[in-house]
Amino acid sequence: MVWWREAERIVDIFRSKPIGDIVIVRGWIYRLSRIGGVAFIGIRDGSGYIQVSLKRSVAPSLFEIVDKLSVEDVVAVRGVVVEDKRAPGGLEVRAQDIEVISKSSVWPITRSAVKSIGFLFDKRHLWIRSPRVRSILKIRSEVCRLIREYMDENGFVEFHSPIFVKSACEGGATLFPVEYFGNTVYLTQSAQLYQEAAIATFGRVYTLGPCFRAEKSRTRKHLTEFWQIECEIAFADLDEDMRILEELLVYVCRGVADRCREELDILGVDFKPPTPPLPRITYTEALEIARSRGSETVWGEDFSSRDESLVSSIFDKPFFVTHYPASTRSFYHMLDPHDPRLTLSFDLIAPEGYGELATGGQRISDYDTLVKRIDEQRLPRGSFSWYLELRMYGCPPHSGFGMGIERLVRWICKLPSVRMAIPFPRTPDRFEP
RNA sequence: GCCGCCGUAGCUCAGCCAGGUAGAGCAGCGGGCUGUUAACCCGUUGGUCGUCGGUUCGAAUCCGACCGGCGGCGCCA
């Protein structure tokens, strides 16, 4: 058996600080420097980073191995843990034995490469090793974990909807067709319709998973494959819907601020979780704000991204815009009983121009009203037969929302683009690696 | 779908406007240095100038088409 079969996780060494003990660490070399008779090897094992040092005078034969090392070689090191203020983190391992487990070719991502976003995404399979990308992806993982924690603790059941679907969730939306044994099906763009079926089973359900949009959007807030947290809540009205989203968002943000200090630090981000309540304004009020600041958008049109920025600049935390006109929303939105031009809907918009994070609202529960809306939007009634049938077998008021994971991570981490917030981004022009 | 910008060494870029046989920094390689943190010092390898075509005695440089990338708008999570 090889001597490095068992090893300490680097994070555990920093936690327990076994000064004077002999430990084995193994991982990838992320930094190398040799100064005459002293060598320093920075090792990364996924859990953390630690420095190994070695003096020629102490171990001349080991030093010959070290002379041939290069960055990203995978090595195992056995040595003594010592405290040393000169080492990063104040601890280092004085090597007594080193074995090269796997050699690396010359690492292509050099210091100057950080300026070249295209090159970095071409090398995304390697770039994800960097501390910054690692931090973002770790925060993404924590965001998803916190979402599940919140949903699980608040009576929601995780519900998996199909990826292959027969028809669109929303009119006009562009779908990816897939050949399916002689039929054409599409990649899902939302779990919502299936969740509306599931509330009769569980009352409250959520789905955290991928969605697909075949839109040739060239922006920093769009991906063709993205993840969202969607949920559906039986008996909830618009206010209840927003209350849950607000609680969820605050829970996730506090959790990230609490559990991801190190990662936020590496990113240089001073993230302050928003304190509730989040502001709520109506579409009509938001439009007035945008128009008073130079927007030409007229009532009934959806906001442009400029409008969104104009309005968001007056807030320092995410805010709700509610009661969008029916002309801007999809067919399933409940119309406002007080003003049928409006829907019981909302968007959650991030400040500082990061744009829309989430969207949601109350759904139409009544069969005839839903049929009427489908016809008005000139959608094929047949495509929604099972969805309509839900209205025939007990359909209480219900609401839900969807929040984009990449958009949330982007806002938290202050990233220039959602492409940074997913391991392997898919855009119209990029689907590899 | 529309608009704009950019393709020269593994990476970042200069050279292009005023056409004359390809340059720097980093990375790599060789050497030196006993505490490096983006080390430093000396030396050195490396390029069908995105592709195809045109103009020209001569094209990285001028013109056209195409390909690839980046950014903005629209659409939206």
Mean pLDDT of chain A: 92
d(CA A219, CA A243): 30
Cis bond upstream, residue A433 (ω within 30) = yes
Does residue A168 have a pLDDT over 80? no
pLDDT reported for residue A406: 95
Q: Which nucleotides of B are covered by protein (CB under 7 A)?
A: 1-3, 10-13, 25-29, 32-39, 68-77
Does residue A86 have a pLDDT over 70? yes
The number of distinct structural domains making up chain A is 2
Dump the DSSP string for A170-226. Answer: STT----EEEETTEEEEE-S-SHHHHHHHHHHHSEEEEEEEEE------STT--SEE
On whether both A89 and A127 belong to a single domain, the answer is no
d(CA A44, CA A364): 53
Question: Is A109 a member of any domain?
Answer: no
pLDDT reported for residue A330: 87
On whether both A86 and A126 belong to a single domain, the answer is no
Question: Is A432 a member of any domain?
Answer: no
Close Cβ partners of A86 (under 8 Å, ≥ 6 residues apart): none
On whether both A91 and A215 belong to a single domain, the answer is no
Tell me the nt nearest to A36, Cα to C1': B33
Q: Tokens at residue A54, please?
A: 């070695």
Q: Can you tell me the mean pLDDT for A4-18?
A: 93
pLDDT tens per residue, range A348-405:
999 988 889 999 999 999 999 999 988 888 888 888 889 999 999 999 999 999 999 9
pLDDT tens per residue, range A184-231:
889 999 999 999 999 999 999 999 999 999 888 888 899 999 999 999
- The pairing of strands A319-322 and A280-282 is parallel
pLDDT reported for residue A159: 96
d(CA A45, CA A21): 19
pLDDT tens per residue, range A414-429:
999 999 999 999 998 8
Last residue of a domain, one of A56, A73, A102: A102
Does residue A171 have a pLDDT over 80? no
pLDDT reported for residue A36: 86
Question: Is A90 a member of any domain?
Answer: yes
Question: Is A386 a member of any domain?
Answer: yes
Q: Tokens at residue A366, please?
A: 């009544």
d(CA A70, CA A142): 33
* Distance of C1' in B65 from CA in A166, Å: 41
* Distance of C1' in B64 from CA in A419, Å: 35
* Distance of C1' in B22 from CA in A302, Å: 54
pLDDT tens per residue, range A259-289:
999 999 999 999 999 999 999 999 999 999 9
pLDDT tens per residue, range A289-298:
998 888 888 8
- B27 nearest neighbour residue (CA to C1'): A110
Confidence of residue A172 (pLDDT cuts 50, 70, 90): low
On whether both A156 and A231 belong to a single domain, the answer is yes
CB A324, CB A342: distance < 8 Å? yes
pLDDT reported for residue A173: 63
pLDDT reported for residue A169: 56
- B3 nearest neighbour residue (CA to C1'): A218
On whether both A166 and A39 belong to a single domain, the answer is no
Question: Is A108 a member of any domain?
Answer: no
Dump the DSSP string for A344-411. Answer: SEEEEEETTTTEEEEEEEEBP--HHHHHHHHHHTT--GGGGHHHHHGGGS----EEEEEEEHHHHHHH
Q: Can you tell me the mean pLDDT for A29-36?
A: 91
Q: Which segment of A48-57, A119-128, A160-169 scores lowest on mean pLDDT?
A: A160-169
Distance in Å from the first CA to the final CA of chain A: 36
d(CA A370, CA A387): 10
- B7 nearest neighbour residue (CA to C1'): A118
d(CA A286, CA A270): 28
On whether both A158 and A67 belong to a single domain, the answer is no
* Distance of C1' in B47 from CA in A428, Å: 32
Confidence of residue A24 (pLDDT cuts 50, 70, 90): very high
Q: Can you tell me the mean pLDDT for A121-144?
A: 94
- B70 nearest neighbour residue (CA to C1'): A118
Nearest to A414 by CA among A359, A355, A354: A354
Question: Is A53 a member of any domain?
Answer: yes
Nearest to A411 by CA among A282, A305, A253, A279: A253
Confidence of residue A149 (pLDDT cuts 50, 70, 90): very high
Q: In this structure, what CATH number is given to the domain that contains residue A201?
A: 3.30.930.10
Tell me the nt nearest to A35, Cα to C1': B33
pLDDT reported for residue A306: 87
Q: Is A157 helix (H, G, I), strand (E, B) or coil?
A: strand
pLDDT reported for residue A170: 55
d(CA A332, CA A281): 22
Q: Is A29 helix (H, G, I), strand (E, B) or coil?
A: strand
Domain holding A75, by residue range, is: 3-102
Tell me the nt nearest to A122, Cα to C1': B69
Question: Is A139 a member of any domain?
Answer: yes
Q: C-alpha A107: how far from its chain's center?
A: 28
pTM of the predicted model, to two decimals?
0.92
On whether both A289 and A386 belong to a single domain, the answer is yes
Nearest to A124 by CA among A417, A408, A403, A412: A417
Give the rounded percent of residues in chain A with a pLDDT score beyond 70: 98
How many CB atoms neighbour CB A365 within 10 A? 16
On whether both A81 and A135 belong to a single domain, the answer is no
How many CB atoms neighbour CB A200 within 10 A? 14
On whether both A74 and A158 belong to a single domain, the answer is no
Does residue A1 have a pLDDT over 80? no
pLDDT reported for residue A305: 85
Question: Is A23 a member of any domain?
Answer: yes
Tell me the nt nearest to A82, Cα to C1': B35
Q: In this structure, what CATH number is given to the domain that contains residue A92?
A: 2.40.50.140
d(CA A418, CA A403): 13
Q: Is A280 helix (H, G, I), strand (E, B) or coil?
A: strand
On whether both A26 and A174 belong to a single domain, the answer is no
pLDDT tens per residue, range A60-78:
888 888 988 999 999 999 9
Tell me the nt nearest to A89, Cα to C1': B37
On whether both A45 and A152 belong to a single domain, the answer is no
On whether both A98 and A127 belong to a single domain, the answer is no
